[in-house]
Structure 1
Amino acid sequence: MSFQSYIDNIKAKTGLSPDDFRKRAEDKGFLADGVLKPSTKATMVTDWLKAEYDLGHGHAMAIYATFKGKTS
């Protein structure tokens, strides 16, 4: 599955875009001014996305990758 397919599937399942997740992650304290905090580990983000949005590990990692700057 391509990266864009992961993002499209996440949007279809949750109704949220990567930008929406970025805003929510900032509210959770994982990001500061849109940038991952050095103390934020991938597991922290993926556990949150799995618990609150019922995402699988690969889909949660795709959102985490967008926080790190991946766009395609």
Structure 2
Amino acid sequence: MSGFQTYLDNAEAQTGVTPRQFLELARERDLTTAKVGEVVAWLKADHGLGHGHAANLAQLITKGPDAVAARYNNGEPLRLDGRGTDA
């Protein structure tokens, strides 16, 4: 498992929100095209995440799962539907 996936898993453990749910929440707030710093601020303020977890989720939200998987997860799909799932 990549370090990036570990950040996603830990953010889910802290908030109860899966990575896919964070993507949807960001879409609802028109944050998918926002600057990373704006997304980080939202995640920290609204979800109580620390900077590292918020920054990794912000990359996922602004760059998209495929680009993030290619760069940080050796091209393997990220697990977006929760810690107990495979993909």
User: TM-score scaled by structure 2?
Assistant: 0.68
CA RMSD in angstroms, aligned pairs only: 1.5
Matched residue pairs, number?
A: 65
Which structure has the larger Rg over C-alpha atoms?
2
Query: Which residues of 2 match residues 47-66 of structure 1 at below 5 A?
Result: 47-66=41-60
Show structure 2 runs of 5+ residues with no match.
74-87
Gaps of 5+ in 1: 32-36
Aligned to 2:84: none
In 2: Cα distance, 1:43 partner to 1:66 partner: 13
Q: After the TM superposition, which parts of structure 1 deviate over 4 Å for at least 4 consecutive aligned residues?
A: none
How far apart, CA to CA, are the structure 1 residues paired with 2:30 and 2:15? 21
Look up the match of 1:5.
Answer: 6
